[in-house]
Amino acid sequence: VFTTLTRKGMPLIRYRTGDISRFSNAPCACGTLLKTMDKIQYRIAASVGLRNGYRLTMPALEEVLFSIEGISDFDAVLTNQDRGETLILKINADENLQDLNKPVMDALYQTALFGMVAKGELNILTEPQPQKDLDIKAIRKRKFVDEREEKQ
């Protein structure tokens, strides 16, 4: 929650953004002595809690998936299946990217998600989607579809 002090009409409006950040100890380039905020890490609405307490964020998932050449878009669905919590990644990719599972798992190798997969805490499935015509002028807001029975 923060308040802007530059509004003339109603300066006491408080905003609840749902952004996760922290206060910075570094001096601001503008010279202010007031507290400043670090870069916003993620928005609570763009994250889901897993059973093991980890928060899976859409920006982290986007960083991993868009590092793979040929992936143009994706949807993320979290479900409870027979094998436990499962993240289904419905991926739009170029035709030359036939097997999606290997490049996705390779990209996840250095992340906390790979550790959860290795421990059996999370299953990740990849499903190809038909290639969509994307408007590069528009940025699509991706959200998790949470189909679990017991939401965290």
Residue 2 tokens, joined: 């923060």
Q: How far apart are CA 104 and CA 69, in angstroms?
A: 11
pTM confidence score: 0.68
Return the pLDDT at 137: 47
- Phi first, then psi: give them for residue 122, nearest 5 degrees: -150, 135
Q: Helix crossing, 58-65 with 101-108: angle to 10°?
A: 120
Q: Alpha-carbon dihedral of residues 111, 115, 118, 123, nearest 10 degrees?
A: -70
Residues of the chain under the 70 pLDDT cut: 1-15, 131-140, 150-152
Return the pLDDT at 152: 47
